[in-house]
Amino acid sequence: MASESMKFSTLVVHAGAEPQPHTAAVADSIHLSTTFVHAADGKRAPAGLEYQREAHPNALALERALCSVEGGAESLCFASGMAAISALMHGLDGNGEVLIGTDVYQGTRTLAREFLQPAGFNVREVDHADSDAFERAIGPLTRLVWLETPSNPLLSVGDIARTALICKAHSALLAVDNTFASPALQNPLRLGADVVMHSTTKYLGGHSDVMGGALVFARNDRLFERVAHYRHLHGALLPPFSAWLTLRGLRTLSVRMDRHTRNALGVAEYLATRSEIERVNYPGLASHPNHAVAARQMRAFGGMLSFQLKGGRAAALRVADALDLFTNATSLGGVESLVEHRASVEGAQPVTADNLLRLSIGLEDVDDLIADLAQALDTL
Ligand SMILES: Cc1ncc(COP(=O)(O)O)c(C=O)c1O
């Protein structure tokens, strides 16, 4: 039913949906079976399924939908975003070099440093908001460039189309972590990337109640086959109920992202007027250093932002504690607004400035969110 020519908000409602042949049910069923009937010759039946660790109907429905909304040829869903990143990195055969952006999700950096590097890959970090830096850093040994845009937690933006051209010229793969933007706001494959990654735990699930991750591939090629094989052997597939919940979340992504984005812009504009704040990191503000690139490659600027307080760590902790409506918790992309002091959750050697608070802007009324921030800032 879904077709490429549909507008995003139509596509997201219908992508991957198939009529339920036996029951005529409109809503998808949850298929818990771990095993599937063999054909008469003892081999796999024509429907193609054999054992749940490899594939199951709910994962396949979600993967069909993700291919549609990201414009990909193949998709694989995983038990978490980290499982997806790990599978992709381990799916690279041979060795060589991996370039990752300087401001990426902390888990991605740690995985690359602690597991990819010892496995024989040289991992180097490059300022992802500066595509000239990628051009200087990339070389004949580079296998993969990992771009997270907008990035976590600084909301800096890398130029996907330009980085894709640089990668192609050097036969390197470009993977983009699209978690902060979601497919509603940005489609990296359409800008030349080879693989898109999502922590579906965030905007795709959308309700802070289901973990998951996904990769969407531009091509059905050896890389896709290897990552699928890795997922099968490592038991990293998303379970049926999680796949079902994630697809249900995806159905409302378009309307949720509209509200997240409108609210976040209102909050960012308000925070920019407060004298206690040194800097607001939101790509939708004209003052953001990468605003022009963001405006070119994103349909809107998303629901995430961060800000840095003049009063340092003490002021940041004070504001986080004084907020009422914002819940002090990690993660993002749910219906409720969250605040987090990133440096506190980054372990013994945090890389994030200790005066920074990250906000995941939810679906509440923006006036209530601003009022809560105002009273918290007034306590300084
Ligand atoms: C940008 C980004 N990528 C990847 C991940 C990892 O995803 P998960 O927590 O689903 O494993 C996160 C988690 O916060 C994230 O924010």
Domain ranges for the chain, please list them: 8-251, 253-378
Q: Where do we find the tokens 């976040």?
A: 264
Q: What is the pTM of this model?
A: 0.97
**C-beta of 71 in contact with ligand 1 (< 6 A):** no
CATH architecture of 8-251: 3-Layer(aba) Sandwich (3.40)
Q: From the CA of 211, how far away is ligand 1's center (Å)? A: 10
53 belongs to the catalytic site? yes
**C-beta of 199 in contact with ligand 1 (< 6 A):** yes
DSSP character for 51?
A: B
**C-beta of 177 in contact with ligand 1 (< 6 A):** yes
Q: For 123, phi and psi rounded to 5 degrees?
A: -105, 125
CATH architecture of 253-378: Alpha-Beta Complex (3.90)
The pLDDT assigned to 93 comes to 78
Task: State which ligand 1 atom lies nearest to the alpha carbon of 331.
Answer: 14
Q: What does pLDDT average to over the chain?
A: 95
Task: Please tell me the residue having the least CA distance from ligand 1 atom 6.
Answer: 81
168 belongs to the catalytic site? no
Sheet holding 213-217, edge to edge: 74-78, 213-217, 195-199, 173-177, 142-148, 96-101, 121-126
Dist. CA 247–CA 174, nearest whole Å: 26
Q: Where do we find the tokens 């330009």?
A: 162
The pLDDT assigned to 30 comes to 95
Q: For 339, phi and psi rounded to 5 degrees?
A: -125, 145
Which of 195, 191, 164 minimizes the C-alpha distance to 177? 195
**C-beta of 201 in contact with ligand 1 (< 6 A):** yes
HSE (side-chain half, CA atoms, 13 Å) at 271: 29
pLDDT in tens, 192-210: 999 999 999 999 999 999 9
Whether 2 shows a pLDDT value over 90: the answer reads no
Which of 195, 210, 207 minimizes the C-alpha distance to 76? 195
pLDDT in tens, 159-191: 999 999 999 999 999 999 999 999 999 999 999
The pLDDT assigned to 371 comes to 98
The CA-CA-CA angle for residues 151, 272, 307, to 5°, reads 35
pLDDT in tens, 208-228: 999 999 999 999 999 999 999
**C-beta of 242 in contact with ligand 1 (< 6 A):** no
28 belongs to the catalytic site? no
Whether 1 shows a pLDDT value over 80: the answer reads no
105 belongs to the catalytic site? yes
Dist. CA 19–CA 74, nearest whole Å: 21
pLDDT in tens, 47-82: 899 999 999 999 999 999 999 999 999 999 999 999
